[in-house]
Structure 1
C-alpha cells in the first residue's frame, strides 16, 4: 500500500550560507518519465557543500502524521552518485538539524525504499517520530562532485 505525494519542490543551494555550489531544479522528461531534476556542481569552497530540492509535506508547513507508514519510496534516476534523503519534523528548530539516510541514484530508473527506522539523527539527539513529519529534502552534499538526480514519484509505503 502506498500514498503518492504531490511535492511543490523548491531549490536551495549552499549560497544561503556563503557557499559557491551552483545548480538548478527543472521538470523534464528523463528516459521516458516526467521528473523533477536537480543538477549542478557541488563545491566545498567557502564552507559550502550542498544542492537541495525540498518540500513541506503540508503546504501550510504544519506536521503530517506519517505514523501509519513504514517509510518513503522514490522512483529515482541519476548519475551513479550517492545522495541523501533528509527529513525534518516540527520538533526540530535549527535548520542544520535533520534525520538522514543515504541512497544511490543509478543510471536507470529504479524504486528506492527508505524505511523510517533507518533514518539517523543529525546534530540533535531526538528519536524520529513520523507523527511529526514536516519536510522532506533530497541533497547532493558533502563533497565536490557533479550532481544529477531525477525523481519521478515520491510515496509513503507500507
Structure 2
C-alpha cells in the first residue's frame, strides 16, 4: 500500500469513545515482506465495549459501477469486519458490515456488496454514496492484529 496522502488519512479508535476500555493502534509497517497498514489492539468487553477500528473517509464515493471490495489481508485469529458508512448511517452505531476472514498468511478476500448487512437501520446499502470505510476487530475479547496491503473496488 503506497504511503500516499490518502493512505495517511486512516485513523484508529476504539470503544473508549463510548466508555469502553479497548485499545487501538494503527501504523504503517512491513508485514511478511509487504508494506501494509496494520491495526493492533486489545478488544475488551468491559464497560459495554467490544471493538477497535481503523477507518478513513471516502468523501461521497460512487461505487455503483463495481461489484464489491477486494482486500489483501493477513493477521492473527479473531473476529474481523469491514464496515461501510453512507448518507443513511446518521447515528454512530449505524453501519453496513461484512465479516472479514483473516488468516496468518496474506490472502485476497472479495466482499461483494451483498455481503454487507445493515446494522441498526433498515435502509439497504446504497453504494452510490460511500462515505467511510473501516476495518474492525469486534464482538469478542482478544488481541487484534490485522494488516491490509491492498484495498480496491472490483467489478
Q: TM-score, normalised by structure 2?
A: 0.93
Q: Distance in 1 between matches of 2:26 and 2:91?
A: 24
Cα deviation, residue 7, structure 1: 6.5
Q: 5+ unaligned residues in a row in structure 1: which ranges?
A: none
Q: CA RMSD in A?
A: 1.2
Task: State the SS of the aligned residue for 1:68.
Answer: coil
For 2:113, the equivalent position in structure 1 comes to 116
Q: 1:40 to 1:124 in 2, by over 3 A?
A: same
CA contact (8 A) 2:24 2:53 kept: no
| Native 8 Å contact 1:81 1:106 kept in 2 | no
Once residues 13 and 111 of structure 1 are traced to their aligned partners in structure 2, the CA distance between those partners, rounded to angstroms, is: 26
1-structure distance, mates of 2:84, 2:25: 21
How much does 1:42 deviate?
0.3
1:55–1:137 Cα contact (<8 Å) kept: yes
Identify the residue that residue 54 of structure 2 maps to in structure 1.
Answer: 53
Task: Tell me the CA shift for residue 105 of structure 1.
Answer: 1.1
In the alignment, what sits opposite 1:95? 92
Q: 1:117 deviation in Å?
A: 1.3
Distance in 1 of aligned mates of 2:139 and 2:40: 15
Q: Which residue of 2 aligns with 1:34?
A: 35
Partners of 1:143 and 1:125 in 2: CA distance? 25
Deviations 1:53-76 (A, max 9, x none): 001113xxxx11110000011110
Q: Deviation string for 1:69-97 (max 9, x for gaps)?
A: 00011110111323010100012210100
Aligned to 1:20: 21
Q: Are 2:151 and 1:150 equivalent residues in the alignment? A: no
Aligned residues: 150
Q: Which runs of 5+ in 2 are unaligned?
A: 1-5
Classify the secondary structure of the residue corresponding to 1:95.
coil
**TM-score, normalized by length of structure 1?**
0.91
